[in-house]
Amino acid sequence: MLKAWGRRGEVITESHTDVESRFSANMQLWALAKDGSRRPVLIESLWPHKGCLVLKFAGIDSISDAEKLRGQELQVPSEQRGQVEAGWAFVSDLIGCAVWDGERELGKVSDVRFGAGEAPLLVVKAGRLEYEIPYAEAYMQKLDLSEKQIRMRLPEGLLEVNAPLTAEEKRQQRKV
């Protein structure tokens, strides 16, 4: 959820569904907090606004109540999910998947970020390293959700884009 909206506890959200009628009044969702805790929320009313969706939840009746939801992810209960086309996946199914580049395991998906281009970015953590890898069909070899694996063939140099600067690169930057 992006932020509080209005005075009655509404929130403005981004929707990552192609089905405009996906959400309705009296629909229960889950609000997933950054710490991993979840709580149920019930949609009282909703309406579109400038490419986003404004939601009013039961029991969230003030700006301060709504502010507590800022940054939380809304999830549709798994039993209410629609079917996805072959090769597609729900974001929540990608979290925790091991990402492989050929025969090398890079790490596990900790998040998925949208808005940086055509393809969402998989945030892949490997110890203290973090990679942002486009979840693009051009790089995909195989998605196996039952094994929690994403097998890719990444272009040479893609992982180095996120690599920390070497001592020599830091010296070069100071010279400029």
Domain ranges of the chain: 3-79, 91-162
- Tokens encoding 55: 């939601």
Name residue 108's beta-bridge partners: 98, 125
User: What CATH fold (topology level) applies to the domain 3-79?
Assistant: Elongation Factor Tu (Ef-tu); domain 3 (2.40.30)
**Distance between CA atoms of residues 176 and 170, nearest Å:** 10
In this chain, the answer to whether the domains covering 3-79 and 91-162 adopt an identical fold is no
User: What CATH fold (topology level) applies to the domain 91-162?
Assistant: SH3 type barrels. (2.30.30)
* Residues present in the chain in total: 176
Share of the chain above pLDDT 70, in %: 93
Residue 103: its pLDDT value, please? Answer: 93
Residue 19: its pLDDT value, please? Answer: 64
Which tens digits make up the pLDDT trace of 41-57? 999 999 888 888 899 99
Residue 85: its pLDDT value, please? Answer: 74
Helix (H, G, I), strand (E, B) or coil at 8: coil
Residue 164: its pLDDT value, please? Answer: 65
Residue 71: its pLDDT value, please? Answer: 87
Which tens digits make up the pLDDT trace of 138-148? 999 999 988 99
Residue 84's alpha-carbon distances to 18, 29, 43, 91, 119, in angstroms, are 11, 19, 24, 11, 17
Which tens digits make up the pLDDT trace of 90-135? 888 899 999 999 999 999 999 888 876 778 899 999 888 889 999 9
**pLDDT of 165 higher than 70:** no
